[in-house]
A and B are shown apart, each in its own frame.
Chain A
Amino acid sequence: DIQMTQSPSSLSASVGDRVTITCRASQDIRNDLGWYQQKPGKAPKRLIYATSSLQSGVPSRFSGSGSGTEFTLTISGLQPEDFATYYCLQHNTFPYTFGQGTNLEIK
């Protein structure tokens, strides 16, 4: 199975900050990676697909980059509603696997 190592596992930041979350794949997954935001009690919400394509309706402060084995999600100018848990997902090889999550908290 492809392991997705997501870091950091938790992150404290302030409104207005720029934060970066990283996912490393245990093998080349090309650009078959997406990012989700999840709030307590809710289903995950797609933010980014195909590494860097922004989901319609998602603010442009969210961006994704990378290829191969290293990928990043950047949030530029944190807003109060962005405090949540974030997951990456590889869909290159089944079983599709998620990173372990990054809990983004208010500092």
Chain B
Amino acid sequence: QVQLVESGGGLVKPGGSLRLSCAASGFTFENHYMSWIRQAPGKGLEWLSYISTTSGFTKYADSVKGRFTISRDNAKNSLYLQMNSLKVEDTAVYYCARDLNTPGYWGQGTLVTVSS
């Protein structure tokens, strides 16, 4: 069955960096667009970024453009999110999700807390 497992979250100081990973299994990873979506505590959902199957095309929300970088390694069935210059308002649960049109598969999420 399809599984997406995020890791790499934790506590980081403002201005710091963190790299999230999403390990995929149960499907042919290289055939699917992948995305990162986040949810601040007690708040709604925000789509951050997506990446095409061969990494040739990426898109970012304005809130993270220039600070976050999405990437993937199809040989390792893994998706990544490099987060730099973190702000307090980046505190959230970060989910990876498969496909673009109303994604049907999400990971369980990893919590990123940005605080001094």
The answer for the CA separation of A1 and B100 in the assembled complex, in Å, is 17
Contact B108 A43, beta carbon cutoff 8 Å: yes
Kindly identify which residue among A34, A36, A99, A100 contacts B101, using a CB–CB cutoff of 8 Å.
A34
CA distance in complex: A25, B101 (Å)? 16
Q: How far is the CA of A33 from the CA of B107 in the complex (A)?
A: 21
Q: How far is the CA of A36 from the CA of B59 in the complex (A)?
A: 23
Interface of chain A, main secondary structure: loop
User: 1/0 per position for B76-116, CB-CB distance to A under 8 A?
Assistant: 00000000000000000001000011111011110000000
Bound Cα distance from A98 to B39, whole angstroms: 11
CB distance from B110 to the nearest CB of A (A): 11
Which of A46, A96, A97 is within 8 Å of B104, CB to CB?
A46
A95 sits at the interface (CB 8 A): yes
Chain A hits for B106, CB < 8 A: 43-44
Among the listed A50, A91, A95, A96, which residue makes an inter-chain contact with B62, where contact means beta carbons less than 8 Å apart?
A95
Known A43-B108, A43-B109: A89·B44 in contact at CB below 8 Å = no
Which residue of B has the minimal Cβ distance to A99?
A: B44
Whether B47 lies near A98 (C-beta < 8 A) is yes
- Return chain B residues, CB-CB under 8 Å to A44: 45, 106
Whether B59 lies near A89 (C-beta < 8 A) is no
A46-B59 contact in complex given A98-B45, A98-B47, C-beta closer than 8 Å: no
B positions within 8 Å CB-CB of A: 44-47, 50, 59, 61-62, 95, 100-104, 106-109
- 12 residue pairs A–B, Cβ–Cβ below 8 Å: A43-B106, A43-B107, A43-B109, A50-B101, A55-B104, A89-B45, A89-B102, A91-B101, A95-B47, A95-B61, A98-B45, A101-B44
